[in-house]
Structures are given as C-alpha cells and as structure tokens.
A and B are shown apart, each in its own frame.
Chain A
Amino acid sequence: MNRLILRTLLSHWRSRPFQIVTLLLGLTVATALWSGVQAINAEARASYAQAAATLGTDRFDSLQPRGAETFDQEAYIALRRAGWDVSPVVEGSLRLGGERYRVLGIDPVTAPASLPARPDLQGADLTDFLGPTGLILISASTTLPPDVDLPPVRVVEGIAPGTLVMDIGLAQTLLTMPGQLSRLILLPGVQGAPPIAEASGVVFDRIAPRGDGGGIAALTDSFHLNLTAFGFLAFAVGLFIVYSSIGLAFEQRKPMLRTLRALGVPLRRLMLVMVAELTALALLAGIAGVALGYLIAASLLPDVAATLEGLYGAQVSGSLSLRPAWWATGLLIAMGGAALAAGDTLWRTARMPLLSAAMPEAWHGAQARAQFWQGIAALGCFALALVLCFTASSLTAGFALMGALLIGAALALPVVLATILRIGAARARGPLSQWGWADARQQMSRLSLALMALLLALSANIGVGTMVMSFRDTFTGWLDQRLVAEVYVTASDAEQGRAIHAWATDRVDAVLPIWSAEARLGAVPISIYGVAQHPTYSEHWPLIEALPGAWQSVASGEGALINEQMAARRDLSPGDALILPTPDGTDWPLTITAIYSDYGNPVDQVMVDVGLLATRYPDIERLRFALRTADAPQVIEEARARFGLSSEQVVDQAAIKALSLAIFERTFTVTGALNILTLAVAALALLTAMLTLQLMRLPSLAPLWAMGLTRAALARAELVKVLALALLTAILSIPIGLGVAWVLTNVINVMAFGWRLPMNLYPMDWLRLIGLALLTATVAAGLPVLRLARTAPRTLLGVFASER
C-alpha cells in the first residue's frame, strides 16, 4: 500500500514538473552555497593544520630567540649538552623562478619521529637526505620551476604546500645563514636540566603548541567566520525557495491527500510516506548541492588562498580535496533544510480535518493571524538585536546581532507591506485600482516569502557594500597619510644595509630606517617598530588618540605608540604603562602616548624610537629604509645601479600603494562573489514564487477577463504589482542594510580585526541596487506575465467550469 500512496503522491510532480524542479533547485542551491563555503573553510583550516604539523608547532613547544630572527647554533649544542631535548630548525623563504617557497631545514636524527617531514630513520631516504647532494621533500601539490639548480626532489605525504623540507645543513647553505638557526623544537619530559637561558646564553620565548594550526588559525578565524555567515545567509535565502515550493505542493495536493484519507489511508502511514518522499528529494538535492558546492568552492578557492596569503601570510592550498566528512555534512544540511522548510507543511497535513472543504475566503483570516504572530516574532528579533547591540562582546555575538536584525526585518516585511497596501487600498479610486491594491494584498501571502528572501539579499548587499566601500575610502586615505616617503629600499644583507644607509644619508633629504623586532607580550606576538625623529611621522602619521607631545616622548625614549588593534585587544589607552620584553631578559618600561590606525595588519604593533630599539634589540635586521627625496626616479635608478638591487628591493610610493590596494581588493573578491550569488538566489526565489502563483491565480483573474479586461492589460497589471512590491522591498532594505553596515563596521570589524571604521553613505549605490531589484523582479515576473498574456481563452473559460 505504501507504494500505492507514494505513486499517488508522486503523480502530482509528474503533472507539475516545474514545481519539483524549483524545489530541487532551491534545495540544491542552498546546499551548494553552504557546503561550498564550508569546503573553503575546511581546506584552509586543513592547510593551517598541515603547515603547523610540518613545522611541528602543533604538538611541540618551540623556542624562539627573543628579538632576533636567528641565533647561533652553538646555543643549540649548549642546550643539548645541558640535557635539553631540543631539535634545531632553520626556516626562511626562497624565491625560485618568481615563486616564493618556504624552506624548512630539520635535523632528522633529533627531530621528533612524529614530524611528518622527517625521513624515516629506518628508510633509505635518510641516506639521501643527509648525503652530500641532499634531498628536498615537497608535497604533491607543490611544483618547482624546471630550470632551477636544486638537489633532487622527492614527493612525500604530509608536507604543507609550498614548503621545501631539507636537511638543516642544506637549508643553511640555501638561505645563506651558516651556523645560524631559526628556532628549536622542545620535546617534553626533560628533568633536572639547568634553565634554558643559563644553559644557552640566549633568551628564548617558549611558545606552546597550538593544535588548530596555531597563530595563523587564530588570525584567520574572523575571515572564516565572515565566510560562514555568508554561506548561512545564502542557505537561508535558498530555503525560502524550498519552503514556498513545498507549501505550494501541499496546497495543490490537499484534495489528493483528503481523498487518500477518505479512502482509508491511516494518517500515520500517509505522514511516513510523505517523509520518505521528502527524504528522497532532499537526498537527491543534497548530492547535487554538494557537487555544485564543490565547484563553487574550487572556483573561489584560488582567490581565498590569495587573500589569506596577502592578509595573513597564511599558505593555503589552491586546490580542493574531497573530504568524506564534508560530503556527509552537506547531505545532512540538505536534509535538515528540507525538514525545516517542510515542517510547517507536514504539521498542517497532520492536523488537516478529513473533510475540510476548500475555503477560498479563509486565507484572509489565516493571513491576518499569521501576520500577527510574525509581527510579534519580528519585534522579538529586534529586541534581541537591541540588547546585543549594547552587550555583544564576541564575534559570534556580533553575527548573532546581525542575524537577529536581518531575520527581524524579514519577518516584519509582510506586516509592513500589508500595512502599506491597506493604506493604498483605502485611498484607491476606481474599481480597477481598488481591485489592484486588494489583489496585491492577497498575493502577498504567497509572494511574501520570496520578498523576504529579496529583502535579506538586498540588505546584506547594501550592508556589505557600505562596509567594503567605507573601508576602501578610509584605507586609501590612510595609505596616503601613512606612505609619505617617496622611495622604499630593502637591502640584501646587513653589510649592504650599512652601505645603503651611508650612501643615502648624503644623497637624499632624509633616511628613515624601518627596522623592527618580533617579540611576544603575554603569549601573543607583537611587532616592535623603530621610527626616526622626522616630520614624516610627526606630521603625517594617522593618530586616532594622542597625548600632547606624543612624538617628542617617543624621541626621548619614554613614549611608545601602539596600533588600534593592540589598544582594543589589550584594553590599553594613552597614558597606560607598557613593559616590553627584551632579548637580554630585562624589562623595557614605556608609556603609551598615542594610538594609531593600522588597517590590514592582523598583528599588534608598537612604535618606539629606532635608536632605542637598536640598543635594546641589537640583533634586529637593519635592512629597510624609507627615503625622502624630491627626485625619486633618479634616486631609484642610482640605488639599483649602485647596489644591484632588484625592482622588488627598491620601490616607489605609488607601487607600494598599488600593492596594498590590490591586496585589499582581493580580500573582498570572495565577499563580492557571495553577495551576487545570494542576490541571484533571491531572484530565483522570486521567480519560482511568481511562476507558482500564476497557476494559482487564474481563478481570480478569469472573472476580470470575463468582465472585459484584455489579457495584455491583466499582464501589465500583474507586472506593475510585482514591480511595486519589489520596489517597496528594495526601499525597505536600505535602512536594514545600513543597520547591517553599522553592525559590520562598528561591531564585527572591531571584534574581528580590532579596528573601527567610519561608516560612509553611498546613495548612488542604493539607487543602483533598487534598479537591480526592479530588474530582478522584472526578470522573475517576466515569464509568468508573458504566459498570462498568452493564456488561451479556453483556459480562462475553463476556470468557470472547473471545480475549485
């Protein structure tokens, strides 16, 4: 009997293939966007974890020299001889044929056995690895330029992409750092050895392992949360399509269900078969959605990888691997989505009175009741948003605030639209106009879901667009302030750095060293930058908050400037004391005298006097200089000719700005792509709603036709109604979008990156978006309206013959 019931139920889809197509399409698209975003996140996180595993920083403590990039390997020997179980590591980057590779030099005999890159002590690899020519280990996804002079390369599993693993001696040679090490892996279980600083004569920072991919994972968290939020938004919008198709199918199958029940099919069995039908559909759509999601992720991943590398220096594999867990979650999400969208329908089926007649007029009361509850829910969402607005203290809470705002707005939309239509109807003159307003209100009940989807997509669009453009404007203005020097030079080594310094001192108006040290404050890494005393800084550097005489205090060695994100994360303000660590282990007490904006930088930063930095951190690299000159092209040419510097080592201001802006633009490529996809999904929702509506509305339109309105006039009236509703929705989406933008710039950005952005308004973009919404509505309504205009008179006549 189950089979019979199923056949009967399925016969509905056979006669309305379009409906099942929209249902499947909606669920597929929703699943695809969601799982696509998840795939990107999973790939990126896997890359971080693999990088950390390759480096051993996921399981082992690391010892990093304080305030220096490298240290003498004698310190390593001293630690081993003192009984510390440490293994040396040399790290650096190498440019081969225009590509940058990470070099990781290890000592396989002391490296922990679980280090993925370590050649097996029992394998033949070791002989080659340590042999005179050496061996380079890479992952299968890493390709090397063909014409470089390197030792033999072998592909092994478990190495992060873009990383070359080799023996430590070979790494020292390739990176020209003889006798120098970058860090030590510290293995657990050492007892009774003398303190590390005492044994080695070097001050090390001990860095605890991070299982999740380490600092990079923490830095990029906000980026991934952003993507997730977008994926979720697209998923929610997609579910509107599913909800409306399932709801429609239920309405249309009502007589069939009643007949089945009347024939004696038990409710339980009917429900079971319906659930089975839904599960099968969800499974089908889920598989297609996951496959489509894979394609989306694969096409977006290169941009994401570029963004992550540009922003955070995180290496992410540009190619996507298939993960079973991801397939499974994709299918589950599809099922969950289908259940969510169909829950209401199943509930109504379960409660349907056996002999309920068609109640064409009942919709009005039902709609009013539904709107009342929707209004209450919307108010609840807004209230939650308001509370979160003042209390949100985490990124998740920030997204919850945005969610509450968007859902509240979507729920409120039908209420607001209905009110507007009621007012319109009250003022309407003439029968046709009155009918139009009233009919629009009736249509609302079916269209409202699609309109809600449109509202969500448009609001998100305005919100994100406003945030990105505000950010871009602020960023470019800030770059102009910050990049004042005309020429930026990077020396190849310390000796050349000294030579360049000497030459430039005579040649240009001012030489401003850009020297920095990496250190740790608490457990968190910070950069300490040294700045020279020069109007370049004191007159241009963009300060947000400052004590009087901030720059003088830096020059006198008492003051320090910190960036906005450091101030936000550590709750610091001008006047607070700041104690910096130093390589010799002594404290370096300073007073914070100003806070400066530092967009695009994920790391906490401190600025101090350069002379003092060089004294406290004697081992910093003295390679970078900013030059002030009125004669930039000539200076660049001379520097290149004199020191044999590459075009990357001598750059002018314009090139640096262009590079910074390019990184900025790439950062938001993915956001833009998801934004457009979401809008496309909303258009699809509107289209499906319109198409199904058209079928249902023939009975309401047929009498008008019979009274003498032409089909063309009816079609025009339909189009105008849909456009009017879309226009209203678009206009309503502007304040909502601005609310979203405010949340993004003032809550989420602050939580995610630590910087607050001024929010600018871009009315021209709103107009463009309203145009886009109308276009969307025209496209969505076009086909149904065209079909209406071409409906055969026989069909319209048939309405009067058929039973409702």
Chain B
Amino acid sequence: MRVLVFLLLLPTLAFAQGFAGLGTATQEGFATPERGATLTFPTDHAAHPDYRIEWWYLTANMTGPDGATYGAQWTLFRSALAPGEGEGWASPQIWMGHAALTTADRHFVAETFARGGIGQAGVTAQPFAAWIDDWQIAGPDLTEVTVRARGDGFAYTLDLATSAPFVAQGDGGYSVKSGAGQASYYYSQPFYDLTGMIEIGGVPTPVTGQAWLDREWSSQPLAETQDGWDWFSIHFESGEKLMAFRLRDNSGAPFHSGTWIDADGTPHPLDGDTLSFTELERAQTSGPQVPIAWRVQIAQRGLDITTRPLNPDAWMDTLFPYWEGPIHVEGSHDGIGYLEMTGYE
C-alpha cells in the first residue's frame, strides 16, 4: 500500500518525468504488474529492478519495561530512472531510506540516499539483507532478521522472528489502487514478534512488541486525480490483523481497499464499499494540520473502532514529507498499529 508514499514523492522527486506522466501511462520499458501472477519466495523478497518503484517497509509497535509505548519505522525505497540494473555508477537505480522512532512526546526522523550499482544500498534474498549505509534488515532469511538504524538522537536494534506465512494482499498479491485499474504487487508479513533495544539520546531501553513488514513494487500505481491517502495497519488483541486504506481523489469519491487477516495468516480481501473512514479530529503538527483521530468501520466484519496516535506530531520532515506514527485502537476491537497519511498541506 505504501506505493502511494512514493507516488506523491515521485513527481517532486523528478526521478520520473512529472506527476502527469505517472498517472495512467506505463513508463517506457518498465514491467507492469499483472493479475494472476504468483509471488515466489524468497526470490520476490529481493529487488525487482525492471519495475519503477519498490519498497521494504517495516513498522513496529513496542513497549518498554515501564509500560511506555514506542513506535519504530524502517523503510527502504527503490526508484529506477530506467528499467534494469547497470554496472557501477551507471546503474539507473536510486535508493532512499527513512527511519523513525516515536515516543509519546518525541519523534525522531532520519533520511538517507544512495546510488545503486555500487553497493551502498541494495537487497539480497538469501540470506536476506536489505541495507542502505549502516541501516539494515538482515538475517538468514526474512522470517528471522535484525533491524538496525540510527539517526540524530536515536538508534535501534530490533530482532524480529515469525513462523507465520507471508500474506498476499489484494488478489493473490495483485493490489488494485484505483478505479481505473492501477495496481501493484503487494504482500506483507504482519506477524513478527519483536525484542530489541532502542536508544534515545544515548540512553538504551529494552523493548518488546510486534512488527509489520510490507513489500510492494509497481510501475504505474496512481491515478492522476489521486492526491493523498490514509493508510492503517492494525494488530488486534485477538491476533487478527487489518490493512485498510483510503485514496483521496480530487475529482470524486475516494478509493477504498483493505485486507482482513486471520490470526493464522489467511487473508480476506475487503470490498471497498464496506469500508468507512471518518475524520474525528485534526491537529497541528510541525508540518501541516492533519487528521489525528479516526473512526474506521467495516460493516461486514462488525468493526467500529476509533484510532488515536501515540504522538500526534509524528510528522516525517523528510525531502517528501508525510505523517507516519504508531496508533492505538479502541471500540468493537482493541489493538495497536500504524497510520500513514500523505497529501496534506
């Protein structure tokens, strides 16, 4: 789902040829996702350089020994100027890393960039490693990894492990993003158990918690009129998971989509019509005003929840800014999760 982050980034990034060009047209020479293709692991954990954009997107909800809650984000984006990989500096691939650590009253952000082809950033499937500079997610395979990142004033080292299967989003991993049919390949691993150590201002704190990894790649993901989104990933106390998003459209009704994931990892794609997102409250961040409290309803699942952020000011003051932070969920179902909002000005 995080496809959208990059989409809004891309026009400004100018890695692509501008926002309009991104809309419906497939970029020259890039591969496009096709319905019915099967995801193959571990191969698909690695990069797909023939697609324009791709990411490894990890969010974690954590608790310290004193009960304080924390959020962590680790993201590696890949963007291609042209399809394929090249030798050395001639590689058309560009990588971007975002890392964040959120407490109830602080939000630390770091950002870094790298060129492909020279080894500064990249992803290998087996053994698994995704890295940029000294940040990395690495382990024997993607079910057992250590996540590291650091930035100004913070650092974390998190050990993740799971025995659950990877969860295909959308139609077997083919995730539609607009009424016009833009789509991406999208799968997740929402079942990581986490233990680790976070460090704020040099002070280490042990943490435990849950983590969620999203993998997504595409070449033509957004409609021209779509100008932002609100995206939720939620761990319910029951062990079930929810991924749900709303793509705002400046020409009409928003596009809704989501997946209900059973505690054993079985995904149930949700019909967009059954999803309802309601803004409850806006607040000023260090960026713009954004909705920080939401009501999310899924009639077909009897879900009616309210989400509130751990820290309303989880503003990502990066080259392409957005809001991303941990939330807690109350209502018909209780839980924790992450919210990402883009396109607010």
Contact = CB atoms under 8 A, between A and B. Distances in A.
Interface string B113-134: 1110011100000000001011
A122 interface: yes
B14 A179 contact: no
B118 A127 contact: no
A167 B89 contact: yes
B88 interface: yes
Given A83-B133, A168-B89, A179-B88, A107 B15 contact: no
A110 interface: yes
A200 interface: no
Nearest to B135: A83
B298 interface: no
A172 B133 contact: no
Most chain B beta carbons < 10 A, residue from A82, A126, A170: A126
Given A168-B89, A189-B152, A80 B81 contact: no
B113 A193 contact: no
B92 interface: yes
A104 B114 CA distance: 19
Contacts of B17: 127
A122 B120 contact: no
Nearest to A199: B134
A80 B18 CA distance: 30
Interface string B4-16: 0000000011111
B78 interface: no
A81 B88 contact: no
B14 A132 contact: no
Interface residues of B, number: 27
Contacts of A193: 134
A121 B11 CA distance: 11
A193 B150 CA distance: 11
A82 B134 contact: yes
Most chain A beta carbons < 10 A, residue from B12, B16, B82, B88: B88
B14 A124 contact: yes
B81 A131 contact: yes
Contact of B89 (A81, A121, A172): A172
A574 to B, nearest CB: 49
Interface string B58-94: 0000000000000000000000011000001110101
Contacts of B203: none
A23 B136 CA distance: 76
A73 interface: yes
Contact of B119 (A77, A126, A169, A192): A77
Contacts of A76: 120
A123 interface: yes
A121 B318 CA distance: 12
B180 interface: no
Interface in A508-567: none
A80 B114 contact: yes
Nearest to B153: A191
Contacts of A74: 119
B253 interface: no
B116 to A, nearest CB: 10
A172 B90 CA distance: 11
Contacts of A352: none
Given A130-B81, A189-B152, A110 B118 contact: no
Contacts of B12: 122
Contacts of B88: 169, 178-179
Nearest to B95: A109
B82 A192 contact: no
Interface in B315-345: 319
Nearest to A119: B14
Nearest to A130: B81
Contacts of A178: 88
Contacts of A123: 14
A109 B150 contact: no
Contacts of B133: 80-81, 83
A169 B133 CA distance: 19
B136 to A, nearest CB: 9
Contacts of B120: 76-77, 80-81, 110
A109 B131 contact: no
B15 A127 contact: yes
A109 B114 contact: yes
Nearest to B86: A132
A542 to B, nearest CB: 47
Nearest to A189: B152
A354 to B, nearest CB: 75
Contacts of A172: 89
A127 B14 contact: yes
Contact of B13 (A80, A122, A132, A189): A122
A131 B81 CA distance: 7
B302 to A, nearest CB: 45
B279 to A, nearest CB: 29
Given A122-B14, A193-B134, A109 B115 contact: yes
B217 to A, nearest CB: 20
Given A109-B113, A127-B81, A81 B134 contact: yes
B77 to A, nearest CB: 12
B114 A169 contact: no
Contacts of B16: 127
Given A83-B150, A107-B115, A192-B150, A126 B134 contact: no
B131 to A, nearest CB: 7
B282 to A, nearest CB: 27
A396 to B, nearest CB: 43
Most chain B beta carbons < 10 A, residue from A107, A109, A192: A109
Contacts of B15: 126-127
Interface in A59-117: 73-74, 76-77, 80-83, 107, 109-110
B235 to A, nearest CB: 31
B319 A122 contact: yes
Contacts of A83: 133-134, 150
A122 B133 CA distance: 22
A109 B12 CA distance: 15
Contacts of B115: 107, 109-110, 130
A81 B131 contact: yes
Contacts of A77: 118-120
A112 B169 CA distance: 39
Contacts of B94: 109, 130
Nearest to B96: A109
Most chain B beta carbons < 10 A, residue from A83, A121, A192: A121
A74 B16 CA distance: 29
A402 to B, nearest CB: 53
Contacts of B131: 81
B92 A130 contact: yes
Contacts of B13: 121-122
A472 B329 CA distance: 87
Contacts of A80: 114, 120, 133-134
Interface in B150-187: 150, 152, 155
A178 B90 CA distance: 11
B14 A110 contact: no
Contacts of B14: 121-127
Nearest to B82: A132
Contacts of B92: 130, 132
Given A81-B119, A132-B82, A167-B89, 13 more contacts: A74-B119, A77-B118, A80-B114, A81-B134, A109-B113, A109-B115, A110-B113, A110-B120, A121-B319, A122-B319, A126-B15, A127-B16, A131-B81
Interface of B: 12-18, 81-82, 88-90, 92, 94, 113-115, 118-120, 131, 133-134, 150, 152, 155, 319
29 contacts: A74-B119, A77-B120, A80-B120, A80-B133, A80-B134, A81-B119, A81-B120, A81-B131, A81-B133, A81-B134, A83-B150, A107-B115, A109-B114, A110-B114, A121-B13, A121-B113, A121-B319, A122-B319, A124-B14, A125-B14, A126-B14, A126-B15, A127-B15, A130-B94, A131-B81, A131-B82, A132-B90, A169-B88, A169-B90
The 3 closest A-B pairs by CB, nearest first: A169-B89, A83-B134, A109-B113
